[in-house]
Amino acid sequence: MKNKIKSPETLHYPDTVNTQKKGSAYQNVCAEDILKQVRGLIEKEKSYLNAGFSLIDLSKRLNLPTHLISYCINKGTKKSFPDLINQYRVGQAINMLTCPDYSDMSVEGIGSECGFGSPASFYRSFKKITGFTPTKFILKHEKGKGN
């Protein structure tokens, strides 16, 4: 007699990562949990403000392999590690560009303070994320305040 499933159900499991190594401490680790750890560390320590901050640095801090962290970031955010870090940096830059306390700083100085290694990488990332160059963003923000 053949076993037939009369009412098949779709089983849903949390998104897990299987490292394929038996006995590995990371077997079936939940990608969401790792992404929470990543975001928590980045936000708490503001690691993104360091221009040299890398996936290797994050890996050492979390004591997790780089490939696992990278996979979880890609899966959970649809972004690469550098894109995620640049998103945090641009967010910080927006805060600084719109805060009167930083009005005496140059745009390039703000980019540097936010962890960008060069003005070119700051402008490129800022435009990619906001759709505007930092200078146009400032003008748009100031125009919006005048209304």
In a domain, 127, yes or no: yes
pTM (predicted TM-score): 0.80
Q: Tell me the residue range of the domain where 60 lies.
A: 31-83
In a domain, 4, yes or no: no
- Same domain, yes or no: 79 and 99: no
In a domain, 70, yes or no: yes
- The more confident residue out of 104 and 2 is 104
Reported as a single tens digit per residue, the pLDDT across 72-95 is 999 999 999 999 999 999 999 999
In a domain, 104, yes or no: yes
Q: Count of residues for the chain?
A: 147
For residue 127, the SS3 value is helix
In a domain, 63, yes or no: yes
Structural domain ending residue among the three candidates 44, 68, 83? 83
The overall average pLDDT reported for the chain is 86
Reported as a single tens digit per residue, the pLDDT across 106-136 is 999 999 999 999 999 999 999 999 999 999 9
For residue 67, the domain's CATH number is 1.10.10
Rounded to whole angstroms, how far apart are CA atoms 92 and 61? 22
Q: Which two tokens stand for residue 104?
A: 């005496």
- Same domain, yes or no: 76 and 103: no
In a domain, 19, yes or no: no
In sequence order, which ranges of the chain are alpha helices (DSSP H)? 31-45, 55-62, 66-77, 81-97, 107-113, 119-130, 134-146
Reported as a single tens digit per residue, the pLDDT across 23-70 is 445 545 688 999 999 999 999 999 999 999 999 999 999 999 999 999
Q: Based on the structure, what is the number of domains in the chain?
A: 2
- Same domain, yes or no: 105 and 128: yes
- Same domain, yes or no: 94 and 139: yes
Q: Does position 147 have pLDDT exceeding 90, yes or no? A: no
